[in-house]
């Protein structure tokens, strides 16, 4: 049974139609990548999937539950494109606050905080206030917050922007491990070598899914060897 | 449980924000102190100059705390007034009296004019009495056989008593209770409104909405989290006003605190609500002239009963109208909880409406 089912979703802001009849399906244990130029509607789509925004038309189902649903959010880990952290609190206080919003026992909370902080290499900086963090550190903390309740579905909006290659690698290793546990992961990205690591990709442009498939299928479809070219070609086709 | 998490977080954020804390706790005290001294300071004794005055009148004037400076003659009254820093000038010419007043401040001038007129009238009356007695004596000596007595009329003595306050009541005694409530209202509004605004603009509210927290838990978390500080502020302000500034408090201190806490609750829910309609701190400030300042006009500093009908309708829409009224009832008039219960209920009604609206407005962020 599919983890995420997006069915004919359209979204307009006023007169402007940002998403046009988008449909996609993500299976459990899959890493699904959304690629597309800036302003194509990736963030808008992701927010609708989480239930933070309402689709103008169409339906979304996550884990067989129609979005929006409050208890479903217990099982969705969301990382926003812009860091949304309490900068006057320490890293640990941020994690502890978000952890306490989920159904976790005190003991589990502690364990999850330690696990998430360790995963993003922030353990030594947990006692610092977030306002003293670098951009990459904030990004990592946001990722840790997304993982805090050990969710079944992870929705990450450009998770690795501003994170150095070494840490990026270790984060991807962790995403693979989570995938092996049967978790569902939806990421948006601009970075093509990351797109390469996804099981499936959807290319979004102007609110439409131009094409989707495995990275290899996409390359084959366009008769080229690098995804970068797919990105440019697909973009060019519309332009 | 989630509400508790929110309260805890707000508590940590607040105690780290020393500026906001100081604004909330210390600023009302500073303003109250300043106003207290502005309104209760003794006004300087008025100074007047006199020419040709009879010594009795001068005595009368001096009895009324007027500083009298005597001149033999004056050519330019205006110049003398200015040069000798006098508030008025009194010239006696035969039977006419000419009074020149500087009138820098109309209300103290009125008071001075009244005192001078009283002195002159009293002196005139005295003269009349002595003239009359003299005249009667004359007649009596001329017609010794006439049975004749004269009754003297003693001026009736007016003894004044006050239902509220005393003869020493100052304007600040009426103003004080209103100010205490007003500052609690104002600062709670400001701090809570800006705090939730910050949560909105930094995207953390969006992030919060992506967790399974209920909308009403968010509203209650905010109310209680900032409410905690509002309680502390209220207690500090009330104690300071009553114990240190010695603002008149006839009724119970607890009732004063209850009223202020209810006012703080209204301010809190209103601040959070209005912050939804602001996109920046500056836009939040724009609500102050629209929402906060008019409350001062209708809080009882100016008598609402004397206002035009439509103004009275506006007054009844303002929480501070009820707050000011209740505070005056307790602090100045010394009434009890029962007399202010309707004011309190209406204030609680305001808070309830604002809280419900808040939960509703959050729908903008998440439908469920
Ligand atoms: N709240 C909003 N009101 C009006 N328009 C919006 C709103 N949010 C997004 N848009 C518009 O929707 C379009 C898609 O925005 P979106 O943020 O989804 O793009 P994106 O693909 O995530 O871009 P990027 O890669 O730069 O993050 C843009 O044209 C944007 O202007
Ligand atoms: Mg985006």
Q: What is the pLDDT at residue B30? A: 92
Q: What is the pLDDT at residue A239? A: 41
Q: Nearest CA to CA, how far is A148 from chain B (Å)?
A: 11
Q: What is the pLDDT at residue B204? A: 92
Average pLDDT value for residue range B333-346:
92
Q: What is the pLDDT at residue B152? A: 64
Q: Is the pLDDT of residue A230 over 60?
A: yes
**Residues B60 and B32 occupy one common structural domain:** no
**CB-closest option in A74, A82, A84 to B212:** A74
Look at B13 and A76 and tell me if their CB atoms are within 8 Å.
no
Specify the 3-state DSSP secondary structure of B231.
helix
How far does CA B17 lie from the centroid of its chain?
31
Tell me, using a 6 A CB cutoff, whether residue A48 lines ligand 1: no
**Residues B257 and B312 occupy one common structural domain:** yes
Is residue B187, in this structure, part of any structural domain at all? yes
Q: What is the pLDDT at residue B247? A: 84
Q: Is the pLDDT of residue B36 over 70?
A: yes
Look at A68 and B1 and tell me if their CB atoms are within 8 Å.
no
Is residue B359, in this structure, part of any structural domain at all? yes
Look at B210 and A50 and tell me if their CB atoms are within 8 Å.
yes
Other C-beta atoms closer than 10 Å to the C-beta of A196 total: 15
Q: Is the pLDDT of residue B13 over 60?
A: yes
Is residue B28, in this structure, part of any structural domain at all? yes
C-alpha span between A153 and A148 (Å, rounded): 12
Kindly indicate whether the domain formed by A4-233 is annotated with CATH number 3.40.630.30: no
C-alpha span between A234 and B161 (Å, rounded): 93
**CB-closest option in A70, A86, A97 to B5:** A97
DSSP string covering B258-297 = HHHHHHHHHHHHHHHHHHTT-SSHHHHHTHIIIIIHHHHI
Specify the 3-state DSSP secondary structure of B71.
strand
**Residues B31 and B52 occupy one common structural domain:** no
Q: What is the pLDDT at residue A100? A: 95
**Residues B210 and B275 occupy one common structural domain:** yes
C-alpha span between B123 and B50 (Å, rounded): 15
Is residue B150, in this structure, part of any structural domain at all? no
C-alpha span between B326 and B333 (Å, rounded): 10
**HSE of A121 in the Cβ direction (CA atoms, 13 Å)?**
13
Chain B partners within 8 Å of A89 (Cβ) = 9, 12-13, 16
Is residue B1, in this structure, part of any structural domain at all? no
- CA of A204, closest atom in ligand 1: 21
Question: How far is ligand 1, taken at its centre, from the CA of residue B206, in Å?
Answer: 15
Q: What is the pLDDT at residue B41? A: 66
pTM, full prediction: 0.82
**Residues B185 and B320 occupy one common structural domain:** yes
**Residues B111 and B250 occupy one common structural domain:** no
Residue nearest (by alpha carbon) to ligand 1 atom 25: A38
Is residue A198 within 8 A of residue A33, CB to CB? The reply is yes
Average pLDDT value for residue range B41-65:
82
Tell me, using a 6 A CB cutoff, whether residue A44 lines ligand 1: yes
Relative to the alpha carbon of A79, which ligand is closest?
2
Look at A70 and B214 and tell me if their CB atoms are within 8 Å.
yes
C-alpha span between A129 and A135 (Å, rounded): 13
**Residues B105 and B235 occupy one common structural domain:** no
- When computed from its CA atoms, the radius of gyration of chain A, rounded to whole angstroms, is 18
Instruction: Give domain limits for chain A.
Output: 4-233
C-alpha span between B14 and B41 (Å, rounded): 37
Chain B partners within 8 Å of A83 (Cβ) = 203
How far does CA B139 lie from the centroid of its chain?
60
**Residues B209 and B316 occupy one common structural domain:** yes
- Structurally, how many domains does chain B consist of? 2
CATH of residue B130? 3.40.190
Question: pLDDT tens digits, residue range A100-112?
Answer: 999 999 999 999 9
Residue nearest (by alpha carbon) to ligand 1 atom 26: A38
Q: What is the pLDDT at residue A236? A: 60
Look at A84 and B9 and tell me if their CB atoms are within 8 Å.
no
Q: What is the overall mean pLDDT for chain B?
A: 87
Residue B92: which H helix or E strand, with range?
A: strand B88-93
**CB-closest option in A50, A84, A102 to B204:** A84
Specify the 3-state DSSP secondary structure of B69.
strand
Q: Is the pLDDT of residue A238 over 70?
A: no
Least confidently predicted of A75-89, B151-165, B170-184, B186-200: B151-165
Q: What is the pLDDT at residue B153? A: 67
Tell me, using a 6 A CB cutoff, whether residue A189 lines ligand 1: no
Average pLDDT value for residue range A164-186:
90
Q: What is the pLDDT at residue B91? A: 87
Question: How far is ligand 1, taken at its centre, from the CA of residue A41, in Å?
Answer: 5
**Residues B175 and B251 occupy one common structural domain:** yes
* DSSP letter assigned to residue B158: P
Q: pLDDT tier at B93 (50, 70, 90 boundaries)? A: confident
Q: What is the pLDDT at residue B263? A: 94
**Residues B136 and B229 occupy one common structural domain:** no
Q: pLDDT tier at B130 (50, 70, 90 boundaries)? A: confident
Q: State the alpha helices, DSSP H only, in B45-105.
A: 55-63, 77-83
- CA of A40, closest atom in ligand 1: 21
β-bridge partners, A9: A22
**Residues B334 and B240 occupy one common structural domain:** yes
Specify the 3-state DSSP secondary structure of B340.
helix
Domain residue limits at B52: 47-142
Which of B19, B20, B210 best tests the A interface by mutation, with the highest count of A CBs <10 A? B210
* DSSP letter assigned to residue B93: E
Q: Is the pLDDT of residue B151 over 70?
A: no
- Residue scoring higher pLDDT (B251 or A238): B251
Chain A partners within 8 Å of B207 (Cβ) = 78, 80, 84, 145
In SS3 terms, B162-202 reads as CCCCCCCCCHHHHHHHHHHHHHHHHHHHHHHHHHHHHHHHC
Question: How far is ligand 2, taken at its centre, from the CA of residue B9, in Å?
Answer: 28
Specify the 3-state DSSP secondary structure of B50.
strand
Q: pLDDT tier at B117 (50, 70, 90 boundaries)? A: confident
**Residues B101 and B183 occupy one common structural domain:** no
Q: Is the pLDDT of residue A41 over 60?
A: yes
Is residue B285, in this structure, part of any structural domain at all? yes
* Phi-psi map region of B43: left, alpha, beta (phi>0 left; psi -120 to 50 alpha): beta
Question: pLDDT tens digits, residue range B186-245?
Answer: 989 988 888 889 888 998 998 999 999 998 999 999 999 998 998 899 899 989 988 898
Question: pLDDT tens digits, residue range A120-131?
Answer: 899 999 999 999
In A, minimum Cα distance to B205 occurs at: A84
Look at A101 and B16 and tell me if their CB atoms are within 8 Å.
no
Look at B366 and A68 and tell me if their CB atoms are within 8 Å.
yes
Question: How far is ligand 2, taken at its centre, from the CA of residue B324, in Å?
Answer: 51
């Amino acid at each position: 049974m599919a983890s995420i089912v997006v069915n004919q979703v359209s979204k307009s802001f006023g007169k402007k139609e940002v998403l046009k009849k988008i449909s996609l399906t993500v299976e459990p244990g899959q890493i699904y990548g959304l690629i597309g130029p800036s302003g194509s509607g990736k963030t808008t789509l992701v927010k609708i999937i989480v239930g933070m925004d309402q689709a103008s038309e169409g339906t979304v189902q996550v884990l067989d539950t129609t979005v929006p649903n409050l208890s479903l959010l217990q099982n969705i880990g969301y990382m926003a494109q812009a860091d949304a952290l309490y900068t006057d609190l320490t890293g640990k206080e941020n994690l502890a606050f978000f952890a306490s919003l989920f159904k976790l026992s005190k003991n589990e909370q502690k364990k999850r905080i330690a696990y998430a902080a360790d995963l993003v290499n922030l353990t030594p900086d947990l006692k610092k206030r977030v306002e003293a963090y670098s951009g990459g550190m904030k990004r990592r903390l946001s990722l840790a917050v997304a993982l805090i309740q050990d969710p079944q579905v992870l929705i990450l909006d450009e998770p690795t922007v501003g994170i150095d290659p070494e840490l990026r690698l270790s984060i991807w290793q962790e995403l693979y491990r989570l995938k092996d546990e049967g978790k569902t992961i939806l990421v948006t990205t601009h970075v093509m070598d990351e797109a390469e690591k996804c099981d499936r990709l959807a290319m979004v442009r102007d609110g439409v899914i131009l094409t989707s498939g495995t990275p290899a299928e996409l390359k084959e479809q366009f008769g080229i060897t690098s995804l970068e070219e797919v990105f440019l070609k697909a973009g060019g086709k519309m332009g | 449980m989630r509400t508790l998490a929110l309260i805890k977080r707000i508590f940590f954020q607040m105690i780290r924000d020393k500026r906001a804390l100081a604004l909330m706790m210390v600023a009302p005290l500073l303003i109250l102190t300043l106003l207290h001294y502005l309104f209760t300071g003794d006004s300087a004794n008025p100074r007047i100059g006199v020419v040709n005055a009879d010594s009795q009148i001068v005595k009368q004037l001096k009895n009324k705390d007027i500083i009298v400076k005597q001149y033999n003659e004056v050519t330019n009254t205006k110049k003398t007034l200015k040069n000798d820093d006098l508030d008025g000038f009194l010239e006696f010419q035969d039977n006419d009296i000419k009074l020149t007043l500087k009138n820098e401040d109309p209300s103290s001038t009125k008071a001075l004019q009244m005192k001078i007129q009283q002195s002159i009238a009293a002196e005139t009356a005295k003269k009349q009495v002595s003239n009359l007695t003299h005249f009667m004596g004359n007649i009596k000596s001329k017609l010794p056989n006439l049975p004749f007595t004269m009754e003297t009329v003693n001026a009736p003595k007016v003894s004044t008593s006050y239902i509220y306050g005393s003869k020493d009541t100052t304007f600040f005694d009426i103003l004080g209770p209103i100010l205490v409530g007003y500052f609690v209202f104002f600062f709670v509004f400001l701090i809570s409104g800006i705090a939730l605004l910050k949560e909105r603009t930094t995207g953390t509210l969006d992030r919060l909405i992506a967790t399974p927290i209920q909308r009403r838990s968010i509203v209650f978390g905010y109310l209680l989290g900032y409410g905690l500080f509002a309680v502390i502020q209220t207690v500090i302000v009330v104690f300071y006003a009553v114990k240190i500034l010695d603002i008149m408090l006839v009724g119970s201190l607890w009732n004063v605190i209850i009223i202020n806490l209810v006012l703080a609750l209204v301010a809190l829910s209103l601040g959070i609500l209005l912050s939804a309609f602001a996109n920046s701190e500056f836009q939040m400030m724009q609500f102050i002239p629209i929402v906060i300042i008019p409350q001062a006009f209708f809080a009882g500093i100016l008598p609402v009963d004397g206002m035009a009908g439509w103004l009275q309708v506006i007054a009844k829409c303002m929480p501070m109208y009820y707050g000011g009224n209740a505070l005056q009832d307790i602090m100045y008039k010394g009434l009890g909880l029962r007399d202010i219960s309707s004011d309190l209920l209406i204030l609680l009604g305001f808070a309830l409406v604002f809280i419900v609206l808040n939960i509703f407005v959050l729908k903008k962020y998440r439908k469920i």
